[in-house]
Amino acid sequence: MESFIIRGGARLKGKVEISGSKNSSLPIMAACLMAEGKTTLRGVPRLSDIDSMVKLLGDLGCHVYRHEAKESVGDGPTLNGPLDITVTEEKKFEASYEIVKTMRASICTMGPLLAKRKKAIVSIPGGCNIGDRPIDLHLRGMVKLGAEYHTQNGYAILEVKGRLKGCRMYLGGAQGPTVLGTINVMCAAALAEGETVLVGAACEPEVGDCANLLNKMGAKITGHGTPEIRIEGVEKLTGCEHRVIPDRIECGTFMIAAAITNGELELKHSNLDHLIAVVDRLEDVGVKVERQNGTIFCSSQRRINPVEMTTQPYPGFPTDLQAQLMALLCLGDGMSVITERVFPDRFTHVGELNRMGGRVRKEGSTAGVQGVKELQGAPVMASDLRASAALVLAALVAKGETKVDRVYHIDRGYEKIEQKLAAVGARIERVKER
């Protein structure tokens, strides 16, 4: 088991290269199951979740090859070589429990497998540390496209005779739209017969990124980025080249790192348009955010104003940055209020932040964050990916030493986070059991 040891108090200053988006890469890799010939993906980060998807695609008959890193500077992150994905065999249909339990985004293989191989067997994900994670909307979408579906021993088994059939459907749920559900159904509809209209679709940039990939493969998708996506089904998709969008959650996390350490960071290869609600809240907090071409300059003055923030589907403030913003507001000059509307139980970081001297009180899906003068280093436990990032941020400014245990959660979604932080002045090291 690995941990981070962080000594707080260093002011971060310098350049950080933002990686390609994990949440874009995972469903895009799954979509490659539908293409004939090779697809080359650029900007795919090196993360344990990506490794899990590579393994799953291998099990499903794909040849996946990662090139050496030697990309030209200028048009995107240079950390990693491109990833080639070619389907060589189409005999298998299954995303097993073993893989889905470690990486929930494995369910993104459902739509591609069903549309291309006419059958998908996908382990139904259980809850996780951020709350219940049902897949009813994914399944409802597939059934509307003509799939037959039953469950057996914890698996969803979907089949279709002939091609899926396009239709008009509403895809929203009680908590609003679903990101991966929209992508899953959009992928399936890309190879369906006739037109599909997804009403109540998720507008997240990751949905648009996957639609752009599919269009390069030959799909006919319009309206992505809006709540109504139109998909004119085609008979075949062909491999293409595609660069995934920058990781807006990693970028937002580093913006908050600049703010919490009273620092000054230059975030390269990022897209501020995808972070408009985050910038809006950070500016209210007192953080200065500027853009020049593909670089974001983020700096902060000492004072952290308290703010109210509610997480919402895109373009609202993302739930994936809620925990990190809470860490910042722990040091606010007064009482902040955070409401979680996407995953109402996503508050496992509250107890750990309070162990570090925070004064956060949760009431249902709302947390009152009373600012304190300082946080103190403490041994704390990472519980999920973004909650862990919040603990790292708090540790960067806490007095003394913090040990963050179970950093495998962070490795799922932040590429080389300790190296990127150390390069701009953080005192952080990765240690094996101490």
- Residues binding ligand UD1 (CB under 6 A): 23, 26, 105, 132-138, 173-175, 178-181, 202, 206, 318-320, 342-343
CA 205 to CA 192: how far, in whole Å? 23
Given the complex with ligand UD1, which of 129 and 215 has the nearer CB atom? 129
Q: How far is the CB of 261 from ligand UD1 (least distance, A)?
A: 25
Given the complex with ligand UD1, which of 132 and 308 has the nearer CB atom? 132
Q: How far is the CB of 246 from ligand UD1 (least distance, A)?
A: 15
Nearest by Cα to 112 from 40, 199, 213: 213
Q: For residues 10 and 426, is the Cβ–Cβ distance under 8 A? A: yes
Given the complex with ligand UD1, which of 105 and 387 has the nearer CB atom? 105
Q: How far is the CB of 319 from ligand UD1 (least distance, A)?
A: 5
DSSP class of 245:
P
Q: How far is the CB of 218 from ligand UD1 (least distance, A)?
A: 24
Pairing type for strands 38-42 and 83-87 reads antiparallel
Given the complex with ligand UD1, which of 323 and 380 has the nearer CB atom? 323
Can you spell out the DSSP letters for 292-348? Answer: ETTEEEEEE-S-----EEEB-STTSB-GGGHHHHHHHHTTSSSEEEEE-SSSTT--T
Q: For residues 35 and 258, is the Cβ–Cβ distance under 8 A? A: no
Which is catalytic among the residues 62, 128, 187, 330? 128
Q: What are the helix (H) ranges across 76-204?
A: 97-102, 110-117, 136-144, 179-190
Q: How far is the CB of 342 from ligand UD1 (least distance, A)?
A: 5
SS3 assignment, position 259: helix
Given the complex with ligand UD1, which of 209 and 418 has the nearer CB atom? 209
Pairing type for strands 401-405 and 366-370 reads unpaired
176 φ, ψ to 5°? 100, -160
Residue 108: active-site member: no
